[in-house]
Amino acid sequence: MADKQQQVVVKRARHKSSVKDPGTPGVLKMTKDRFTFMANDPSSPVKLNVEFRTIKGHKFTKDGTKQALLNLTQDQGGNYIFEFENFPDRNVCKDFVASAIALSGEAGRTVPEKSAVPIQDEQLSAAEMERRIKLLQEDSDLQKLHKQFVIGGILSEAEFWATRKKLLEQNYSRRPKQRVALKNDMWSTKPLADGQSNRVTFNLTPEIILQIFAEKPAVRQAYLNFVPNKMTEKEFWTKYSRAEYLHSTKNVIAAAAEAAEDEELAVFLKQDDMLVNEARKKIRQVDPTLDMEADEGDDYMHLPIQDHGLPRNDNKDVLDSQYEPYRRSFSQHLNQHAAVVLQGRVIDVELGDTRSVAEALARTKHAELAKDASDVYLDKERLERISRMTEIEDLQAPRDPAVAPLSIKDPRDYFDSQQANAFSTLGDTVSGAKQLKCSVSTREAYCSLKECISEIKFQGLTEPTINSEVAFKVLNGLAQNISSNKYHLGRNPNESILDSLPKITREELLLHWSSIQELLKHFWSSYPITTKYLLTKATKLKDAMSQIYPKLQEIKESVQSDLRHQVSLLVQPMLQSSVFMDQAFCCRL
Amino acid sequence: MSPPVPSKILTDDVSLLMVLIDSNPHFWSSIKPHFSFSKFLSHVLAFLNSILLLNQLNQVVVIATGINSCGYVFDSSSGSVSQRAESLLPKLEEFAENDESLSERDDDSGNGVGSSLLSGSLSMALCYIQRVFRSGPLHPQPRIICLHGSPDGPGQYVAIMNSIFSAQRSMVPIDSCVIGIQHSAFLQQASYITGGVYLKPQQLDGLFQYLATVFATDLHSRNFLQLPKPVGVDFRASCFCHKNTIDMGFICSVCLSIFCKHQKKCSTCGSIFGQAQTRDPSASQQRK
């Protein structure tokens, strides 16, 4: 960025307090982070030394006006106006200022990260650094972890990124975001007609040229053929514009007359055969079960005189058939335009050079054609589609039953283990299990079972099956159960305790969880401790872990009393892990 | 089997209900003062009849879970006319005889109630359901309901978990209605994993009401009905070596088999475990 530019710019300028002020002459010197102005006259009070960080914007007068001014605006409203001797000088300063402002703006943001990414033992390329910074900027969780460990000095940069190579690579190869689509407004055939003279001006920009080439393959082909052999580009477009003008006047007879005279013009005025072929091909790819009677009219071009049902005045319709090819229908044009816009940009070429655009489009179209022609499977695919749409269910062979896909659960679902809850409900009954003794022998047991069955067989079912009071009690109990569960567990049965905590607490807990995981990962990877480096690393990790311990206690205390028990259950494994780590570290010797 | 069902009538709420009845005689004699088998049967029969009344195309199949065997005792779609549930009684008697004859010896000891063969009846139910799946594109929506009371047998842990996972894969919910004294960890897990309902009725003489309110709901209606949910699920497993219920143990990293003690070799997959590197047993994991 700034490498290409000069580091320092020195120019003669006048500092003005306002535009009308004649100003004090002096020398303006600009470096990357500040600019200074020294007046020629040593006694003058005007001395400036301003950092670019405070400058938020710059304004300038246009080239060719009376004064070459550059106005640097500050955030609080102050500004510095400089007048230069000539425009080139001013432009050099202007460019320098622009890049300096951009750099200082970025520096404000990236200064903390830049200082946090010290180049230690690794040779990091600038691209790598940029990638890391970008990744940190995007993922705030990652940034917090990074801040905690790398800036806290617990882990080194290399270790932190060692396990995250995949993330970096992914980021790197990501494509740029949205691209601008083609414009939807059709090139207006209402040219700027100058009321006084008989001139009609058409404006053609590279965008418009791209769209013309995309919509009208005949024009593109003509361009490739005629330019630069038969005529220059300007002549080509003049002729094209003339053709458009003729079309806009809807004077078919005049169009025919001119086409007869000028061969090249005729190309623009006649129907587009290439378009016709394309349309035919598209029709063939329509769903085969859709009943379409395909005939000549299905190529946009050969349409009955009654233009898509829009009634026209009958007296105009009786025209000689020789004029038929020169008739153009607006709806055809609109359809083709819509199809092109929806397809979007198919080529990636710079729009400046018309010829290359035309060639690129031609190449794409050729490639498509070639693919279709050589696609042996196209017919086969069509047949398959037909058979799929018209299948008769009764004649199908039995298909394998549907199965649920393998579901790998997110470990966070089990984060709050409900095991302790289950224990508390089971606890009173676990002891009860032992009490269930069967003091009867097997034979007797079976006997009583069979007796019961025959009892029912002979007596039939009891009437009523169930006592109404009992039924009422049961229903009440169920309703209470369901509503109290809803109250405690929330509507969603899978809603966890985490969600019922305030957001900050939740974030903190999750952050602690992920930091503990990170610490444990690095801790166990440094085992067995054989070198001094590993020892220091393990010590650092252990200390960091012991710091998290009191923080977790704090969180436990800060939670509401009714949630405290559940939160302590959540936090317990985290506390245990810190204890284990301590023990492991002590036992290593 | 059943005659082909015309497609127009097979609506969303047609269900195939597989009912697994616990016929463990030890359990029933131990619970005798509170609830008798005959009362239980009367509630269940009324429930089955009402299921058959809910929709003409509903099917009910009853499997009895004994201590030595399991067997089909009722199939509503067998025969030309849909049968009433009472016709299961003679078959049930037969089954009890058969089960008794399979007992090894006259067990007078009688300490503790043995467990019934839940894994066997679950497997039978799933096989029947698979057959229904393959019978054609149109079939009622199957679900399994276990009316169970016997305690869990840790020795059946592996088989039951396998049935649960295959039920989950075929998208067949397993509902559980526990009529025993204690909760059943296996059935809790089964209902949790397959998306069924687990209920332990507080009042056993109102069993029919529980069945009709909660378990008669078909799968389509469950999308917009609120059914009781258990407060917690006991996810404990049994170790593969001694079949004890454990909550902390060793796990083979190849096949995930669970052991309560440190082993040299995995008995399921045969992989050999290395020596422990550090004092801290890093192979120990807390099973949630």
Q: What is the 3-state secondary structure (H, E, C) of chain B?
A: CCCCCCHHHCCCCCEEEEEEEECCHHHHHHCCCCCCHHHHHHHHHHHHHHHHHHCCCCEEEEEEECCCCEEEEEECCCCCCCCCHHHHHHHHHHHHHHHHHCCCCCCCCCCCCCCCCHHHHHHHHHHHHHHHHCCCCCCCEEEEEEEECCCCCHHHHHHHHHHHHHHHHCCCCEEEEECCCCCCHHHHHHHHHHCCCEECCCCHHHHHHHHHHHHCCCCCHHHCCCCCCCCCCCCCEECCCCCCEECEEEECCCCCCEECCCCCECCCCCCECCCCCCCCCCCEEECC
Q: Is pLDDT larger for residue A89 or for residue B20?
A: B20
How many structural domains are present in chain B?
2
Q: Are A243 and A268 in contact (CB under 8 A)?
A: yes
Model pTM greater than 0.90? no
Tell me the two tokens of residue A559: 């939670």
Are A583 and B213 in contact (CB < 8 Å)? Answer: no
How many CB atoms within 10 Å of residue A168? 14
Q: Which of A273-287, B202-216, B231-245, B255-269 has the highest mean pLDDT?
A: B202-216
Q: From B260, B212, B211, select the one nearest B240 (Cα to Cα).
A: B260
Evaluate if residue B52 carries a pLDDT over 80.
Answer: yes
Are B209 and A454 in contact (CB < 8 Å)? Answer: no
B286 domain-assigned: no
Return the pLDDT at B113.
74
Return the pLDDT at A198.
66
Q: How confident is the model at residue B281 (pLDDT cuts 50, 70, 90)?
A: very low
B287 domain-assigned: no
B225 — contact with chain A (CB < 8 Å)? no
Evaluate if residue B144 carries a pLDDT over 90.
Answer: yes
Return the pLDDT at A1.
40
Name the closest residue on chain B to residue A424, using Cα atoms: B232
Lowest mean pLDDT among A13-22, A198-207, A302-311: A302-311
Same domain, yes or no, for B75 and B167?
A: yes
Same domain, yes or no, for B254 and B145?
A: no
**The tokens 């201590």 sit on which residue?**
B67
Q: How confident is the model at residue B213 (pLDDT cuts 50, 70, 90)?
A: very high
Same domain, yes or no, for B168 and B251?
A: no
Evaluate if residue A78 carries a pLDDT over 80.
Answer: no
Cis peptide before A228 (omega within 30 of 0): yes
Same domain, yes or no, for B69 and B211?
A: yes
B235 — contact with chain A (CB < 8 Å)? yes
Q: Which of A74-83, A231-240, B146-155 has the highest mean pLDDT?
A: B146-155
Q: How far is B274 from chain A (nearest CA, A)?
A: 15
Return the pLDDT at B198.
93
Q: How far is A173 from chain B (nearest CA, A)?
A: 35
Residue-level length of chain A: 589
Lowest mean pLDDT among A12-26, A185-199, A210-224: A185-199
Same domain, yes or no, for B133 and B180?
A: yes
B229 domain-assigned: no
Q: Are A190 and A250 in contact (CB under 8 A)?
A: no
Return the pLDDT at B278.
47
A587 — contact with chain B (CB < 8 Å)? yes
Contacts of B288 (CB under 8 A, 6+ apart): A414, A417, A419, B235
What sign has the CA pseudo-torsion A93, A98, A99, A103?
Answer: positive
Q: Is pLDDT larger for residue A353 or for residue A6?
A: A353
Q: Are B98 and B27 in contact (CB under 8 A)?
A: no
Tell me the two tokens of residue A126: 């600038």
Same domain, yes or no, for B191 and B144?
A: yes
Contacts of B55 (CB under 8 A, 6+ apart): B11, B13, B14, B15
Same domain, yes or no, for B154 and B24?
A: yes
CATH at residue B212: 3.40.50.410
Q: How far apart are CA A282 and CA A299, in angstroms?
A: 9
Residue-level length of chain B: 288
B228 domain-assigned: no
Mean pLDDT value across residues A295-308: 53
What sign has the CA pseudo-torsion A97, A99, A103, A105?
Answer: positive
Q: Which of A30-44, A65-79, B147-161, B261-275 has the highest mean pLDDT?
A: B147-161
B101 — contact with chain A (CB < 8 Å)? no
B194 domain-assigned: yes
Determine the structural domain holding residue B251 and report its residue range: 236-276
Mean pLDDT value across residues B154-159: 84
CA torsion angle A436 A439 A444 A445 (round to 10): 10
In A, which residues are within 8 Å of B165 by CB distance? none
**Greatest pairwise CA separation for chain B in angstroms:** 70
Return the pLDDT at A138.
76
B2 domain-assigned: no
Q: Which of A247-251, A442-446, A557-561 has the highest mean pLDDT?
A: A442-446
Evaluate if residue A371 carries a pLDDT over 50.
Answer: yes
Same domain, yes or no, for B210 and B162?
A: yes
Lowest mean pLDDT among A151-165, A231-245, A310-324, A458-472: A310-324
Q: Are A583 and B280 in contact (CB under 8 A)?
A: yes
B285 domain-assigned: no
Same domain, yes or no, for B77 and B195?
A: yes
Same domain, yes or no, for B122 and B261?
A: no
Same domain, yes or no, for B129 and B272?
A: no
Evaluate if residue A428 carries a pLDDT over 50.
Answer: no
Same domain, yes or no, for B210 and B139?
A: yes
Evaluate if residue B74 carries a pLDDT over 60.
Answer: yes
Q: How confident is the model at residue A190 (pLDDT cuts 50, 70, 90)?
A: low
B133 — contact with chain A (CB < 8 Å)? yes
Evaluate if residue A535 carries a pLDDT over 60.
Answer: yes
Q: How confident is the model at residue A333 (pLDDT cuts 50, 70, 90)?
A: confident
Q: How far apart are CA A521 and CA A512, in angstroms?
A: 14
A40 — contact with chain B (CB < 8 Å)? no
Helix (H, G, I), strand (E, B) or coil at A200: strand
Return the pLDDT at A585.
77
A50 forms beta bridges with A35
Q: How far apart are CA A304 and CA A309, in angstroms?
A: 9
Q: How confident is the model at residue A109 (pLDDT cuts 50, 70, 90)?
A: very low
B3 domain-assigned: no
Are B236 and A419 in contact (CB < 8 Å)? Answer: yes
Q: Is pLDDT larger for residue A8 or for residue A309?
A: A8
Which of A446, A478, A488 lies nearest to residue B100, judging by beta carbons? A446
Evaluate if residue A361 carries a pLDDT over 70.
Answer: yes
> Strand B174-178 vs strand B141-148: parallel, antiparallel, or unpaired?
parallel
Last residue of a domain, one of B179, B200, B223: B223
Query: Does the interface predicted TM-score (ipTM) exceed 0.85?
Result: no
Evaluate if residue A583 carries a pLDDT over 50.
Answer: yes
